[in-house]
Each structure stands twice: as C-alpha cells, then as structure tokens.
Structure 1
Amino acid sequence: MKFIFTLSFASLFTLSGLAQTADGCDGFRYFYDVFDEVEKTTVQYGANVNVLGQNQPLYMDVYTPAGDQADHRPVIIWAFGGGFILGSREDVADACIGFARKGYVAAAIDYRLYSIFLGVPDSLTVIDVVTKAMHDMKASVRYFRQDAATTNTFRVDTNRMLVAGVSAGAITALHTAYLDADDNIPMYFQDVLDDNGGLEGSSGDAANLSYSSEVDFVVSLSGGLYKKEWMNAGEPPLVSIHGTADEVVPYEHGTAVVPVGGQTYELVSLDGSGLLHARADDLGIDNYLVSVPGGGHE
C-alpha cells in the first residue's frame, strides 16, 4: 500500500507541475528518500474553543530534513484519522517523516475533536465538528504563509502548499481545499459556518487571519466531501486511495460512521473518492485515484 501511494502521489505531483519548479527538484528529490535524518519542531499555530467550551491550544509537529539548505520547499500538512472523536497528531508522524526524508517540510496538526461524553452527535453536531477541524487546518496553512513572510523559519514555498489526511483527517483536508464562498451551501450548513466565524474561522490570531488559507494540492486516504459539487474547475489537484468496500467512509455516496466501544455511530452523509474523482475528471482537474477492490477502511 505504501509503495502504491508513493507512486500515485509522485505521478500526480509530476502531472500537476508542482514538482518540476520546486526548489531543489532534480528528478530525485521529492520522489525518493534523499535524507537520512529528520528534525522535529513543535509549534503552537493557533487556539480556539472546543466542544466542551474550553479554549484549546493547537499545536503541530513540523518535520524537516536535517541539514537541508534548500529554500522554497513544498509543505504537506497532515491531519490524523479517528472519526473526529479519537486520534492524535502522533498518528501521522510516520507519514511526515517519510515526506521529510524526500525533502518536504511536513506537519502533523492537532485539530478539535468531539467528546463522546456529550452523547451521540446528530448530523448538525457532526457538521459543526467538521467545520471546527477545517478551520484549524486553515489556520495551520496560514501559519506557514505568515512564517514565510516574517521569520521564514521553515523556508516553505507558499505556492506549493499541500493538505493531506487519513479518514476524518482526509475529510478535513477535502473541505479545507474545496469548500468556498462560491459553492451552493445549504442554509443549515451556512448557519454552522457563521456560528464558527465563517469560512475561515477564528483559530488563529489577527495576524494569522490576514493570510490566505488556499492550498495547491490535496491528498485523501479514505476521505469524502459533503457535496461533490463543491469541487469546481480550476481547484487543486487530488490524489486518493480508497477501498471500494469501505465500511466507515463511503467509497461513493453514503453515511460515514465511527465505531467506538463496540458500537457504531453514524456521522454524516458524504460523497467518497469514487464520486470525487469522477467529478474531477469531468472538470478537468488533475487527479489520481487508487481504488482498492474489496478493500475496507484501512
């Protein structure tokens, strides 16, 4: 699976043109391991009120290739899975280390989760939790833009900003990339957005919020988008892996669920990778889908 993902990602990264003009790209860097050692730096990128009404600081671990002298490096921001109830940024550490060894700056972010102690969430509550996660990821994107414009600690290329995720993290990344003001957003969804500070949210400070949260590329491992119609022509390329028999996040259309403590809770209706990549094909968006026949939620 790891080899298939690496090959798929490299193929689309090349097709999209993001690799050829990246600083230091020699046909080897960004596709293969070129660094043995990786450094990790933990930073606070924002804060916001969680579902328990507590102000939650938001951290991310930033992985960089040790000894690298290149400037303008692509950055890939990873969000973990866990049904918006479980998980931590350490869950995607291996993915970040793998990309840092290839020459990327890679980040594993915190994002706000739901607390099952509040009871079984209804669909509007799930939309609220997805919105909070999206806002947190947007703040992390803005953090790197702000860093590039000020201290330039991480030396990222703000024209090559990638978001990625696993399961709930992939749902977060897809909404970060494709939900915008031009979309036909149902009123109940818009109300949730408005209650959380609009499309951008408020997970960063005033300086953070002055930067763009737009991204250039999306990586989705078993993810989905609330409405496939939110993907429009000219939006970022997408690479995905998804099992056709995924019982947690639908491969095509269905209700995402999360198993917790021996019980299964329904989350929200989603359009999965099968529909998203068909939509991308229709719109002329560069995309690459690896469908795993009979594969479940892995």
Structure 2
Amino acid sequence: MKKIVFLLFTFFTFYNSQAQEVKTLTYFQNDTLKLDLDLYLPKVKAGEKIPLIMFAFGGGFSGGERTSEKDFGKFMAENGYAVASISYSLYMKGKDFGCKGTLTEKIKAIQIGVSDMWQATGFLIENAAKYNLDTSKIFISGISAGAEIGFHASFWDYKLMNLYKSNIPENFRYKGFIGGSGAIQDINLITKEKAIPMLLAHGSNDDTVPYNAGSHRSCPTNASGWLILFGSYAVYNQMNDLHKDIELITFCGGGHEFSGYLFHDGKQYVLDFVNDVLKGKKFQSHLIVPSKKSVKSDKYLFCD
C-alpha cells in the first residue's frame, strides 16, 4: 500500500512539474532600463493557442516584485492559461506617493507603469507564435497599483498616453480585466464602446484606494498629493448603467488588505471568470462578504 501511495505521489508530482514551464524574458531594454517578465506556460497540444493573462503586482509604484504571485501564475498555467507577470518602472521609489507628494508625479507614475504594460503586451503579441499565445484572448490583471495600471491600460488611448514607441496593434483591446482594490482617474473613460468584462474585488472601507469615488490615500482637498479616483464600486455602477459584464466582490468593512484576494484565496473566481468570458457568458453580480471587522460603522452600512 505504501508503495502504491509513493508511486501515485511521484506520478502526480512529475505530472504537475511537466504541466507548465516558466520563462524569464526581457521585454524592454535601453541604455538605462531593463524590464523582464515571467511567462508561465501550460503544456498544450501542437498547434493549440493559449489565452494569456498579463499581471502587474502592487506596491504603490515604489516597491513589489513580479515574483510575488508565483502561485497564481502556476495555478492558471495548470488550468490552461499563460500568465505574464511583469516588472515595471517603480517611479515613486524614494518619493512620497501619499498626501504630501505631488499630483503630477502620481499621474506620471501611473503613466509610466501603463506604458511598461503596453510594451510588455506588444512584446508578447510580437512573439505570440513562439509561445503559442492567442493574441485575441489577452486579459489584463493587477493588485492595487498594478490594478491601477490595468484600469488605465484598458481605457487610456495608447496612441496618446504611451511614453514609448507603440508596439500595440491598431484597435487592440484586452479581452477582460481582473483587478484587486484598484481605481481609475476618470470614470467617463469607461464607455459602452470601450467597456470590457471585469472581475473586481475591494474592501468597502479601504482608505488607501477608494472603494467608491474618493481621494487617493484619503487625502484632504488642500493636500499637494490630492488625487480623485473612482474605485471598484463606482466602476461597478458605471458598468451596470452601460449594461456591460462585471462581477464585484465587496469585503464589507474591509480595508486594503483584501487587494490580493483574487490572486491568493480567490484564484478559482479568476479561473471561472476567464472561462465564462471566453464562452461568451453574460453576467452581472455583486457578492458581499463580511470581513472580520465589525460591520457597524456608518461608513459602510451600504454593504447591508
């Protein structure tokens, strides 16, 4: 019996190790900057094209690592999806990204991160044949600052906002967006023509990135770093008004600690979402999950 168990363990260990591979690739390099990505690839049959999920880590544009969500990359690869976890320029490293910072610097940090994401996306489109990637099925995702990259990469005009020479094909659009505790600067960028399916998760009492419409880091209006952002709940309402596909998971009373939920404990939600999008399923849902904090504050009574 022990021998059988050992053989089964050996088989499944071998199978899982063969079910995917990880390649580290340089997607951008000049005299002063080198940016890499980790590409998690599933094993597929010859000629089979793989859907791709672009991913950007969180860290306030000043910290974080592309390797922080290895388990997410491996999980999705085991289920037939490629994941590209990118490094991007940490423009705010050593600078104040809070209320005492500078508004223009905050916006520039986002623009640089978005330009890096577009560059990585274009690089993989250009090399799609080499890695069997399906360029018509590219999703974008991220946590916190990475989700802000994802939002703006999805809705900004890359011809106007891209800081590099564009390598994105004409009329390219991401297939869908998965965001943890992110926000967008202008809700009106999300139009009926530009809307893409979304899966979002956010704590309703997040004082770092607003859950609804509010200031970044809860800064007062007279702060030099005051920046209005539209968070997941505002985006959910906008998408509902447009009758577009969106799923929102609200952690009632929760803060920014839930920013990584979809890429940690909620990976199955992501898998179900991308599967549903590719099957053409239509959906609108809002799941409210009480957090461990007491749900008594007037700030989030709307969760009830």
For the criterion TM > 0.5, the same-fold answer is yes
Asked whether the equivalents of residues 126 and 267 of structure 1 are also in contact (C-alpha less than 8 Å), the reply is: no
2:101 corresponds to: 121
- Is structure 2 residue 176 aligned with structure 1 residue 199? no
Using the alignment, how far apart are the partners of 1:84 and 1:271 within structure 2?
18
Summarize deviations over 1:163-186 as a string: whole Å, max 9, x none.
Answer: 0000000000000001227xxxxx
- Is structure 2 residue 255 aligned with structure 1 residue 296? yes
1:47 corresponds to: 29
* Cα shift at 1:201: 2.5
2:296 corresponds to: none
- Is structure 2 residue 78 aligned with structure 1 residue 108? no
* Cα shift at 1:227: 1.1
Residue correspondence of structure 1 range 255-270 to structure 2 within 5 A: 255-257=215-217, 268-270=227-229
- Is structure 2 residue 55 aligned with structure 1 residue 78? yes
Summarize deviations over 1:241-297 as a string: whole Å, max 9, x none.
Answer: 111011211100122239xxxxxx957321000000110111122111111111111
Residue 246 of structure 1, aligned match among 184, 206, 209: 206
- Is structure 2 residue 230 aligned with structure 1 residue 271? yes
Using the alignment, how far apart are the partners of 1:47 and 1:281 within structure 2?
41
1:14 corresponds to: none
Flag the 1:281–1:202 CA change in 2: closer, same or farther, 3 A: same
Using the alignment, how far apart are the partners of 2:47 and 2:255 within structure 1?
40
Asked whether the equivalents of residues 60 and 92 of structure 2 are also in contact (C-alpha less than 8 Å), the reply is: no
Flag the 1:127–1:115 CA change in 2: closer, same or farther, 3 A: closer
Residue correspondence of structure 1 range 104-183 to structure 2 within 5 A: 104-118=81-95, 121-148=101-128, 152-180=129-157
* Cα shift at 1:138: 0.7
1:32 corresponds to: none
Using the alignment, how far apart are the partners of 1:215 and 1:131 within structure 2?
18
Higher mean alpha-carbon deviation, 217-226 vs 233-242, is at: 233-242
2:261 corresponds to: none
Q: Which amino acid aligns with 1:244?
A: S
Q: Which amino acid aligns with 1:224?
A: A
Asked whether the equivalents of residues 142 and 212 of structure 1 are also in contact (C-alpha less than 8 Å), the reply is: no
Q: Which amino acid aligns with 2:106?
A: V
1:232 corresponds to: 191
* Cα shift at 1:85: 0.9
> What SS does structure 1 have at the residue aligned with 2:216?
strand
Q: Percent identity?
A: 27
> What SS does structure 2 have at the residue aligned with 1:36?
helix
Runs of 4 or more consecutive aligned structure 1 residues displaced over 6 Å after TM superposition: none
Q: Which amino acid aligns with 1:173?
A: G
* Cα shift at 1:236: 1.2
Flag the 1:78–1:166 CA change in 2: closer, same or farther, 3 A: same
* Cα shift at 1:159: 1.0
Flag the 1:180–1:63 CA change in 2: closer, same or farther, 3 A: same
Summarize deviations over 1:117-166 as a string: whole Å, max 9, x none.
Answer: 35563011110010000011111111121112xxx121111111100000
> What SS does structure 2 have at the residue aligned with 1:126?
helix
* Cα shift at 1:36: 2.2
Q: Which amino acid aligns with 1:286?
A: D
Higher mean alpha-carbon deviation, 139-148 vs 60-69, is at: 60-69
Flag the 1:257–1:213 CA change in 2: closer, same or farther, 3 A: farther
Flag the 1:213–1:124 CA change in 2: closer, same or farther, 3 A: farther
TM-score norm. by structure 2 comes to 0.70
TM-score norm. by structure 1 comes to 0.71
Higher mean alpha-carbon deviation, 66-75 vs 222-231, is at: 66-75
Using the alignment, how far apart are the partners of 2:247 and 2:32 within structure 1?
39
Asked whether the equivalents of residues 179 and 231 of structure 1 are also in contact (C-alpha less than 8 Å), the reply is: no
Residue correspondence of structure 1 range 61-72 to structure 2 within 5 A: 61-66=38-43, 69=46, 71-72=48-49
Unmatched segments (≥5 aa) in structure 1: 1-34, 49-53, 182-196, 259-264
Unmatched segments (≥5 aa) in structure 2: 1-14, 219-223, 258-304
Larger Rg, first or second structure (1 or 2) = 2
Flag the 1:115–1:170 CA change in 2: closer, same or farther, 3 A: closer
How many positions carry a matched residue from both structures? 232
